[in-house]
Amino acid sequence: MARRGGRIDLASLAGTVGEYSSVDRTPAGTQASSRTETYIDGELFAEVPLADLVGNPRNPRRRMGDLADLSTIAERQLQPGVVITKAAWLTIFPADAKLVGAARYIVVNGNRRLAASKKFGRAGMDVIVRDSIATSSESILEAAIIENIGRRDFDVLEEAEAVEALVAECGSADAAAERLGRSKGWVSQRRALLKLTPELQEKLRAGEIAIRLARSLAQVPFEGQVRAWRVAQERAEKQAAEKGSDDGASAGESTEISSAAATVKAVRSLRSLRKEGVHPELLAGALREIYTVDECRSLCDALKQ
């Protein structure tokens, strides 16, 4: 140590502080300096202050939904979020500088956890730095979409819009399907939902129209979609009221209408359970008591489609 007022040997100083010195890098959760920070890809930082985090400006999920299922995050966080450093993000999206602001990290996976942390009073979040996914706009969008696809609280139309955005980034639907690990038909079906009228899109979002029916309605000319939906709804309700009666429809048509009516009823019941706060695990337990093992497997396979 140099005497007071004397000169300090910087080489000697660097040797004494070791690898954990702030001379090398600033740990997450402290004030950033003017130098360039370096990170190990996959590095975990605990309790990063929320002020240092910002949600993905290009997140395909516009609505965070009901955050009640994440209320326990106030006491514990079971899964860290995945973030990209500000420098890496702005290299790909320089126009986002104002949106990112003073934040040091952009949350790519874990935006609901970030929203819940703010809502339920958590001071910081555990995050993993993954600048390796910031290779292109496609790779970032892909990471955000894959996290959300198939989640019960991810709006199906937001999913469709996210797929459409990825198609635009990749240049073709086939390339987007390959990146997502989905079939070309799945990508085509999701994109078709964007052809629905605003009225039908809202009904789909509210669960009043099953996805299967929505895909069929999307094939109808725009101006005739609402009328086609009303006709299908009237037929389904009539068939449900006349259980087992012969209304002149063929066996195939009768089965399809009954299936549509049953789907509408099931969706309404499930939406009611969700509003009442029934956890998916409780619902799964109830289904296991009702269905056989093979039927449960069939259900799991159907949910993955």
Question: So what's the pLDDT on residue 124?
Answer: 93
pLDDT digit string (tens) for 41-51? Answer: 888 999 999 99
In a domain, residue 121? The reply is yes
pLDDT digit string (tens) for 84-111? Answer: 999 999 999 999 999 999 999 999 888 8
**What is the CATH classification number for the domain harbouring 51?**
3.90.1530
In a domain, residue 268? The reply is no
pLDDT digit string (tens) for 57-77? Answer: 887 666 676 788 788 888 888
How far is residue 114's CA from residue 273's CA, in Å, rounded to a whole number? 26
Question: So what's the pLDDT on residue 88?
Answer: 92
In a domain, residue 179? The reply is no
Mean of the pLDDT values across residues 188-212?
A: 87
Its domain, for residue 53, covers: 24-29+36-135
Q: Are strands 105-109 and 44-49 parallel, antiparallel or unpaired?
A: unpaired
Nearest residue to 113 (alpha-carbon basis) of 75, 81, 140:
81
How far is residue 210's CA from residue 198's CA, in Å, rounded to a whole number? 16
How far is residue 203's CA from residue 14's CA, in Å, rounded to a whole number? 64
In a domain, residue 58? The reply is yes
In a domain, residue 251? The reply is no
In a domain, residue 107? The reply is yes
In a domain, residue 109? The reply is yes
pLDDT band at 17 (very low <50, low <70, confident <90, very high): very low
pLDDT at 136 over 80: yes
Overall pTM surpassing 0.75 (yes/no): no
Q: Which residue in this structure is represented by tokens 């500088």?
A: 97
How many domains in the chain?
Answer: 1
Q: Comparing 26-30, 182-186, 299-303, which segment has the lowest mean pLDDT?
A: 26-30
How far is residue 305's CA from residue 293's CA, in Å, rounded to a whole number? 19
In a domain, residue 100? The reply is yes
